Amino acid sequence: MTTSENFYDSVGGEETFSLIVHRFYEQVPNDDILGPMYPPDDFEGAEQRLKMFLSQYWGGPKDYQEQRGHPRLRMRHVNYPIGVTAAERWLQLMSNALDGVDLTAEQREAIWEHMVRAADMLINSNPDPHA
């Protein structure tokens, strides 16, 4: 994966990534597919982990690396059966989250393209457990 050193700052840094993941996780507990997959007593921790990962990916602080080590996202998702339906739902909630953030079309597209690629890579279950 490549990172763009200036992208993190150019979209508004910490504030922007906090907002994206906050808007995303606001929707998760009430989601019929994703809600039950996340740790009910640690939504805040999950929010923090996604924020650290995205910040680091886009050239911000390396807190994720320091606290969690190498991302190995596929490995970290093996305990969650993810089919096309869950991946599409994850992306839908993320798209909703991005709609609430002040980004240029190009910035949104760059973030979105990464999300789609990552979600696709994380599909680990066929047949689809949520179909």
Residues found near ligand HEM in the complex (CB under 6 A):
34, 37-39, 42, 46, 49-50, 53, 68, 73, 76-77, 80, 82, 86-87, 90, 115, 118-119, 122
Closest distance to ligand HEM from the beta carbon of 70 (Å): 10
User: For the CA atoms of 59, 64, 66, 68, what is the dihedral angle to 10 degrees?
Assistant: -150
Q: Which residues of 67-76 are buried (b: 16+ CB within 10 A; e: fewer)?
A: eeeebeeeee
Closest distance to ligand HEM from the beta carbon of 3 (Å): 13
Nearest residue (CB) to ligand HEM, 22 versus 68: 68
Closest distance to ligand HEM from the beta carbon of 46 (Å): 4
Closest distance to ligand HEM from the beta carbon of 28 (Å): 9
Paired tokens of 117: 């690629």
104 within 8 A of 31, measured Cβ to Cβ? no
Tell me, rounded to whole angstroms, the distance of Cα 40 from its chain centroid. Answer: 18
Nearest residue (CB) to ligand HEM, 74 versus 102: 74
